[in-house]
Amino acid sequence: MSQEVHTRLRVSAVLIGLFAVIGIVFAGAPAWAHDELIGSDPATGARVDALPAEITMTFSGVLMDEPGATDVVVTDAAGTDLTSGDPVIDGTRLTQQLSGSAAGEVTVIWRVVSSDGHPVSDQFTFSVAGDAAVAPTGSAPSPTAAAPADPDMAGTDVTGWLWGGALVAVLAAGVIVFVVVERKTRSRPSSRD
């Protein structure tokens, strides 16, 4: 075989390898994503008749259950704290007991540690109608999807961007090598074996 054929085969093998690595890395990309709130009871924006005895939040992955890793603050419209005790984590579910009374808008501010080890936080609200007494557990509406994550939180994790930038740089380097080698092989006189 001629030198030109060997060079093209090597360049092709390098490019195929680069694309294979990029494909493998991007196939694992969902593992880089942080867990997120996928539902709550009461749901975001819900209107309930009375303050429930507890709030339940469901996340997309198993939460870390380390001391101090989870924080939930529930307040009424006047800013009065309605939480009672520490939050309880059971896999993907977080439960926070409530006490006191409320009417009007109730704000739930939460912070958890995602299964990938990164803290994730956000907030949502729901409304309590007339009666300010604590309702028995289970009287709130069924869980529904949570509000979209806070736009201010978007882009705070640069790990994905760094990996993506590195992959683009590797791909660009591969294309440059291919173009340079291709130009050199075209500029040489071909020899036949």
> 107, 7 in Cβ contact below 8 A?
no
What architecture is domain 35-153? Sandwich (2.60)
Going from N- to C-terminal start, the domains of the chain cover 3-30+159-187, 35-153
> 50, 133 in Cβ contact below 8 A?
yes
Q: Is the pLDDT of residue 24 over 70?
A: no
H runs (alpha helix) in the chain: 3-27, 159-187
pLDDT on residue 178: 78
Spatial CB neighbours of 136, under 8 Å, sequence gap ≥ 6: 53
Interatomic CA distance for residues 124 and 159, integer angstroms = 27
Q: Is the pLDDT of residue 86 over 90?
A: yes
Length of the chain measured in residues: 193
Residue 59 — very low, low, confident or very high, per pLDDT cuts 50/70/90? Answer: very high
Report pTM.
Answer: 0.55
How many other C-beta atoms are found inside a 10 Å radius of the C-beta of residue 165?
Answer: 11
As given in the structure block, the two tokens for residue 1 are: 């075989």
Q: Which residue has tokens 């997309």?
A: 60
Interatomic CA distance for residues 115 and 12, integer angstroms = 39
pLDDT on residue 28: 52
